[in-house]
Amino acid sequence: MNPITLYGIPNCDTVKKARTWLAGQGVEVTFHDFKKAGVPVAKLPAWMKAVGWERLVNRQGTTWRKLDDATKAAVVDEASAARLMAEQASVIKRPVVEWADGRVTVGFDEAAFASHAAKA
């Protein structure tokens, strides 16, 4: 089985909740810090296939709200979403988790995490 990798930003509250929950369950996780290591651009297509580009782009976050209207309007498909996510890591909904079973989830949902962690 593959190791579990959690992608995000360390000071993000949702990432903190996810990491704390996983640690509390004794689940070993590799953390990929978008701020230090960057966005793994090669992974974006698989993430978008798994969860959809619309879910991966966090339109509720501060980073999105600070973008100019033209930049927001230009995000219309996978290619344009991937370009924005590669340039602006903070626009990616967090955490992105690659589970040991190969599945990808976005955000923190305790029930979903419990289901995936049980398979780890």
Q: What's the pLDDT tens digit per position in 73-93? A: 999 999 999 999 999 999 999
Q: pLDDT at residue 120 above 70?
A: no
Nearest 5°: the CA angle 3, 36, 25 is: 35
Q: At residue 64, what are phi and psi to the nearest 5 degrees?
A: -60, -45
- Which tens digits make up the pLDDT trace of 20-31? 999 999 999 999
Q: What domains are defined for the chain?
A: 4-118 (3.40.30.10)
Q: pLDDT at residue 101 above 60?
A: yes
- Which tens digits make up the pLDDT trace of 103-113? 999 999 999 99
Omega cis (within 30) before 45: no
Catalytic option among 12, 18, 92, 106: 12
Q: What is residue 2's predicted lDDT score, i.e. its pLDDT?
A: 62
What is the value of pTM for the model shown?
Answer: 0.93
Cα gap 65→104, rounded to integer Å: 26
Alpha carbon distances (Å) from 85 to 27, 42, 63, 101: 28, 12, 11, 25
Annotation marks residue 101 as catalytic: no
Q: What average pLDDT does range 49-73 have in this prediction?
A: 96
For residue 46 the two structure tokens come to 């698989």
Residue 119 buriedness (CB in 10 A; 0-12 / 13-18 / 19+): exposed
Q: What average pLDDT does range 43-63 have in this prediction?
A: 96
For residue 20 the two structure tokens come to 């704390």
